[in-house]
Structure 1
Amino acid sequence: MVAHLIQFATDHYILVAIFVVLLVALLVNELRRGGQSLSNGQLTALVNADKALVIDIRPSKEYSAGHIVGALNIPQDKIASRMTELEKHKEKTLIVVDAMGQQSGAVCGELIKAGYTAAKLSGGVSSWKADNLPLVK
């Protein structure tokens, strides 16, 4: 099996090189786009020190079913139009939270471009629930 893989790589070195370059480019793009990822513990520490504001970008229905204490609900599709609401929190880190941590990177990128300090919760609300941390309704 490994011998076949090595043989393929040597026979098709140009394809392998293109694949590696594209993979690295994709990884670099994703890392630059999404902002810093925070663990549940890091989020808690920042919020407790009053250095962060949690922004929940899930739809209002999901937010109402359970959200992190003190989180502000701004659905993802309304983030651009409601950016002015965040002006009073410019000195804080805005921590973007979604259901599973998949959409928060794009919103972080928008906030960073607008001049905010932003980060995302790794794993979203699902990781918060998995760690048995409190949600309020």
Structure 2
Amino acid sequence: MAQFFEFFQAHLVLFIALLVVLALLVANELHGNMTGGKKMSTADAVRLINDRDPLIVDIRPAADFKRGHLLGAFHAPAAKIDDYLGQLARDKARPVLVYCALGGSSGTVAEKLRKNGMAEVYPLRGGINAWTTANLPVTTK
């Protein structure tokens, strides 16, 4: 134990840097959970799609949507999400799966949908990139 304290004293700057990095990681996770809720993995999203028939919302720009999207996805660009809130809120009890390209902006849209009365809203972790990386199907129709 004495060697540990000696090592700690000799490398104090490294330990402080380690504590700062750990604090930033925890803060990042807490911020993500507060602003977008827990993000859903691709495996959990497949289970949700197969078991509960969610409303799937693609919030990417139109050009990206045309290049490929999840089967049955409703296109509502993030920049114009307020224009689509009425259509999305028709069935508030139905779960909603929201995705973007990389998973960054889906949390913000998910939070907005929750504030507008949607009961269950799940952002997709990693967005459509994670979906295609997992070799899951997309369509252009």
Give the alignment's TM-score, normalised by structure 2. 0.79
Name the residue aligned to 1:70. 72
Name the residue aligned to 2:30. 28
2:128 partner letter = V
Deviation at 1:5, TM superposition (A): 7.2
What runs of 5+ residues in structure 1 fail to find an aligned partner?
Answer: none
Name the residue aligned to 1:126. 129
CA RMSD of the aligned region, Å? 2.7
1:7 partner letter = L
Counterparts of 2:138 and 2:31 in 1: how far apart (Å)? 33
What runs of 5+ residues in structure 2 fail to find an aligned partner?
Answer: 1-6
Number of aligned residue pairs: 132
Residue deviations 1:97-122, cap 9 Å, x none?
10011111111111111121211111
Q: Residue 135 of structure 1: which of 125, 134, 138 is its match? A: 138
Structure whose residues are more often helix by fraction: 2
Counterparts of 1:88 and 1:122 in 2: how far apart (Å)? 25
1:36–1:118: 8 Å Cα contact kept in structure 2? no
- Deviation above 3 Å: which 4+ runs of structure 1? 2-6, 22-27
Give the alignment's TM-score, normalised by structure 1. 0.81
Counterparts of 1:48 and 1:91 in 2: how far apart (Å)? 17
Name the residue aligned to 1:88. 90
Verify: 1:40 aligned to 2:45, yes or no: no
